[in-house]
Amino acid sequence: MSKPLFEGVCASTITPFRADGSLQLELLPAHIDWIIAEGANAISPLGSSGEFTALEVSDRKRLLEAAIAANNGRVPVLAGTHHYSTRLTVELSKHAESAGADALLIVPPYYMAPTPAQVMDHFRRIAEAVRIPVIVYHNIPLTAVDLRTEHLLQLFEEKAIAGVKMSNPEPDRIVQLLQATDRKFVVYCGIDNVAFEGLSHGAHGWISGIPSMVPAAARKLYEAIAIRSDLPAARTIWAQLAPLMRLQFSAYHSRGEGANWFSVMKAALNMIGPPVGDPCPPILPLPHQFREQLAAMLANLGYKVR
């Protein structure tokens, strides 16, 4: 694993769809140009925000190739190559490496709830097939898999993985990994409600909703904490960002009513950036009752809202 991993904020780029569910790849370059102009330090095509679960393997490959071409080497690319099947995850990972991805960001096998030992073997087999770094996308609610600190450290010591995107609402899970390896193991904050604390403890970066919707604002927070150690400034920035975080994850955290996180993301991008289209059903566009709240939050962050 020869390529070093980025530090900073990473935007999970979207997948644009037509109304019939086919890919609308002509919208992708302008989206990626906007993300990079906003100051993202890296991009991650085909993460959760890339709606990879709605795509066949062939379309995932087409989308990744288009994203890498649009990026044109400007920032590191963390390719989402997740699949339930180890065989197809390896196939997608090898394709991503050959297409020019800098690293792989991979969620554990989902739905069938494999044991930690089985998941660890899954990641070992991926690492054997590629030479670029592998990052675990730790997401218990959507995979039913919890690789604990000791599991992740074992994979790191074996050189099967180089880092983790920790989408876990317990900040101490981030802290444990940082302290156990003196920050040698790369840890990214993977859900917005732990970003402030995780970055304050030395997390290497941030990959989640806010960096994907408003990268410039996310980068301001990252730099205030990680670069300048300016806690008062960081608190002021977070006071502006926190309402957006709460709206975005209202349904996710309550496991019930509220705004769907991805409906919020695509609505925000359509309001302030180049058009990205609507989510792929069953996720639907953001309902009207949330749109005014979202528009006000984006305006408060300094964006011109359409």
Q: Per residue in 192-224, pLDDT tens?
A: 999 999 999 999 999 999 999 999 999 999 999
- pLDDT averaged over every residue in the chain: 96
The pLDDT of 165-191, averaged and rounded, is: 96
**Terminal-to-terminal C-alpha distance of the chain:** 43
CA-based nearest residue to 135, from 71, 213, 72, 190: 190
pLDDT of residue 255: 79
- Does residue 3 fall inside a structural domain? no
Identify the three-state secondary structure at position 215.
helix
The pLDDT of 155-180, averaged and rounded, is: 96
Q: What percent of the chain has pLDDT over 70?
A: 99
Q: Per residue in 228-286, pLDDT tens?
A: 999 999 999 999 999 999 999 998 887 788 999 999 999 999 999 999 999 999 999 99
- Does residue 42 fall inside a structural domain? yes
- Does residue 48 fall inside a structural domain? yes
Q: Is the peptide bond before 16 cis (omega within 30 degrees of 0)?
A: no
Strands 42-43 and 103-106: unpaired
pLDDT of residue 2: 61
Beta-strand runs (E) in 175-259 = 186-189, 205-207
- Does residue 224 fall inside a structural domain? yes
- Does residue 261 fall inside a structural domain? no
- Does residue 268 fall inside a structural domain? no
Q: Per residue in 35-81, pLDDT tens?
A: 999 999 999 999 999 999 999 999 999 999 999 999 999 999 999 99
The catalytic site residues sit at: 137, 165
Please tell me the total count of domains within the chain.
1
Question: What is the extent of the structural domain holding 177?
Answer: 8-230
pLDDT of residue 257: 86
Q: Which one has a higher pLDDT value, 168 or 29?
A: 29
**Per the structure block, which two tokens stand in for 72?**
């044109």
CATH number where 50 lies? 3.20.20.70
Q: Is the pLDDT of residue 18 over 60?
A: yes
pLDDT of residue 4: 84
Q: For tokens 């309902």, what's the residue?
A: 287
- Does residue 175 fall inside a structural domain? yes
- Does residue 266 fall inside a structural domain? no
Beta-strand runs (E) in the chain = 8-11, 42-43, 78-80, 103-106, 134-138, 163-166, 186-189, 205-207
